[in-house]
Amino acid sequence: MTSARPRVAVVGSGPSGLYAAAALAASDTAVDVDVLDRLPAPYGLVRYGVAPDHVKMKSVIRVLARPFGPGEVRFLGGVTVGPGPGAVPLPVLREHYTAVVHASGSALDRRLGIPGEDLPGSIGSGAMVGWYCGHPDHGVAPRLDVTGVAVVGAGNVALDVARVLARTPDELGSTDVPDAVLEALRAGRVRDVHVLIRRGPQQVRFTPVELRQLGDLADADVVVHDDGLLDAGVPDDVTDRHERANLAVLTEWAHATHGTAHRRIHLRFLRSPVRILGTDRVTGIVVERNVLTPDGRVRGTGEEETLDVGLVVRAVGYTGEPIGGLPFDTATGTVPNVAGRVVDADGAAVPGQYVTGWIRRGPTGVIGTNKHDAVEVAASVLADLPALPPPVHPDPDDLARVLAEHGVRPVDWTSWLRLDAEEIRLGQARGAERVKVAELADMLAAVHGATTGAEPRR
C-alpha cells in the first residue's frame, strides 16, 4: 500500500526520540512516524541509564509509550541504522522517509587521559551502568571481588554508581536488575567506594535530591573528606538554591560521627586521579590533592596519595558518536544544528535531517529536558515537510523488504509487549515491578513468543 502522507523516521527510542515522535504524531499535519531502535526494547536511557533504584523516575515510560498503538506510531526494534553488517545505511533509510530525526544520544564515555586507564578493572560508567541496568551490550560483570572502588566524577552518574555499589543486595532485590547482577553484587566484596571529586563542595554537579539519597542507604555510611572546606558551614554569599542545599547536607555529613555500617561511600573533594596502578589489572589509583583557585577552578599541589582500589569507574560525562554521512563537531560530541536542523560547515541545512536530545545539545539535563527539545525539533520538521521531496520509496512494505534484504526482522510494538510481559512475570516472585532480560538472544526469544525459560526467583 502506498502512503501519500509524509513519512518521518525517528532513529532512537530513548526519551528524546519518543518525545519527538509524540510531538510529530500529535500535530495537525498528517504524518506517518516510525521509531527505529537497534535494540528489541524501547526507552533507551530510561531503561538502560536511569538507576534501578530510581523506580519512580522510570514511570515516565507510561508517557513515552502513549504514541504506540494500532494505526499510530510504529516501532521498528532491532534495526540498526549506519554502516556495517546487518545495519541499514542512512542513505538507504533516507529513500524511505521524507525526513529523519536522529535521537541516538551520547553513547561514549569520556576518558581521563591518564596512565593505566585501559587496564582491566578500569571502566567507563557506560559499561557499569549498562551492566547493572541489564543492557545486552554489557553482560560482563565488573570486578567486584575487590574491597575498594574508585568512582571518578561529581555528577549524578557518579552518585548512581556509588549508590548501587553501596546498596545491599536486599535493597536491590525489589528493583529491575537482572538476577545475574544481583548475584554478582551479592558475591562481591566491595566495602569502600571512593568518589573522586576534582573541585570543591560548591562546584559539584550533583542534584540535591540525589546527593541526599546517599544518606538513606540501609548499610552504608557517607564519609566526607573536604580538607576543611566545609568547616564554615554554608557561606551567606551562596545564592544558588541547589548549591545551598548540597552544601547544607555535605556540611551535616562532614560534622557527623562515623557510623558502623559495612560499606562506606567516601566523598573525596579536591582530588584528581593521576595514575591507575597495576600490571595486569587495577591494584590502586594515585590521586593528586588540588587547591581551589578564586574562579572556582583547581590547581594541582603535586601532593599525591594512593588509594587501594581494584576497580575504577570513570563517570566524567559522555560524548556522542558521529552519524555516518552527517557533519559532526568532535569538540562537543554533537551534530551541528539550528533548531534541530542539521547544518553543514557553511551553516546550510542538510535537507531532511534533524537531531534531538543529547546528540543535539550534549549530555546534560534530566529526562524532561528532552521534551522541550523534541517539541522544538518537531516544529522544525513539520515546518519543512511541505518543501521536502517525497521519499523515493514511499510504500512502507518496501521498507520491510529492504530490511529483510539486510537480514533484519524488525520487532514491532506488539512483539516488544511480549518481552515486557515476560519481564513483569519474572519480577513477580522478586517483589519487583519487573526483572530485566539482559541477554539479546533471550530478549529475541521473548519478543518472538517464547518465555526465557527462566523461572522467577523466590
The reply to whether 364 sits near ligand NAP by the rule CB under 6 A is yes
The reply to whether 271 sits near ligand NAP by the rule CB under 6 A is no
Residues 6 or more apart in contact with residue 185 via CB below 8 angstroms: 132, 144, 165, 167, 169, 172, 177
CA-based R_g, the chain, Å: 23
| Nearest Cα to Cα of residue 20 among 399, 343, 341, 379 | 379
Instruction: Please say which residue, 197 or 399, places its beta carbon nearer to ligand NAP.
Output: 197
The reply to whether 288 sits near ligand NAP by the rule CB under 6 A is no
Site map 58..97 versus ligand NAP, x via CB under 6 A: ----------------------------------------
**Residue at shortest CB range from ligand NAP:** 155
Question: What is the DSSP track for 156-171?
Answer: HHHHHHHHHHHS-HHH
Per CB under 6 A, the list member of 90, 151, 154, 447 interacting with ligand NAP is 154
The reply to whether 175 sits near ligand NAP by the rule CB under 6 A is no
The reply to whether 409 sits near ligand NAP by the rule CB under 6 A is no
The reply to whether 160 sits near ligand NAP by the rule CB under 6 A is yes
CA distance 458 to 453: 15
Q: Which stretch binds ligand NAP (CB under 6 A): 25-33, 71-79, 92-100, 154-162?
A: 154-162
Instruction: Please say which residue, 202 or 337, places its beta carbon nearer to ligand NAP.
Output: 202
Region class of 328: left (phi > 0), else alpha (psi between -120 and 50), else beta: beta
Q: Which stretch binds ligand NAP (CB under 6 A): 198-206, 244-252, 405-413, 434-442?
A: 198-206
Instruction: Please say which residue, 93 or 158, places its beta carbon nearer to ligand NAP.
Output: 158
The reply to whether 199 sits near ligand NAP by the rule CB under 6 A is yes
Assign 358 to helix, strand or coil: helix
CB of 352 to ligand NAP, least distance (A): 29
CA distance 381 to 252: 50
The reply to whether 157 sits near ligand NAP by the rule CB under 6 A is yes
| Nearest Cα to Cα of residue 326 among 350, 362, 359 | 350
Per CB under 6 A, the list member of 161, 316, 382, 426 interacting with ligand NAP is 316
CB of 206 to ligand NAP, least distance (A): 8
Q: How many residues bind ligand NAP (CB under 6 A)?
A: 24
The reply to whether 363 sits near ligand NAP by the rule CB under 6 A is yes
What cell numbers appear for 428 in the block?
513477580
The reply to whether 267 sits near ligand NAP by the rule CB under 6 A is no
The reply to whether 272 sits near ligand NAP by the rule CB under 6 A is yes
Per CB under 6 A, the list member of 152, 276, 307, 323 interacting with ligand NAP is 152
Which whole-number Å values give the CA distances from 93 to 4, 19, 184, 340, 389, in the listed order? 18, 21, 41, 19, 14
| Nearest Cα to Cα of residue 324 among 112, 15, 94 | 94
CA atoms within 13 A on the CB side of 217: 27
What cell numbers appear for 332 in the block?
562537543
The reply to whether 210 sits near ligand NAP by the rule CB under 6 A is yes
List, in sequence order, every residue forming a beta bridge with 123; answer none if it has no partner: 313
Residues 6 or more apart in contact with residue 116 via CB below 8 angstroms: 122, 275, 276, 277, 278, 282, 285
CA distance 96 to 36: 13
Using CB under 6 A, list all residues that contact ligand NAP: 112, 152-158, 160, 198-199, 203, 205, 207, 210, 272, 315-318, 363-366
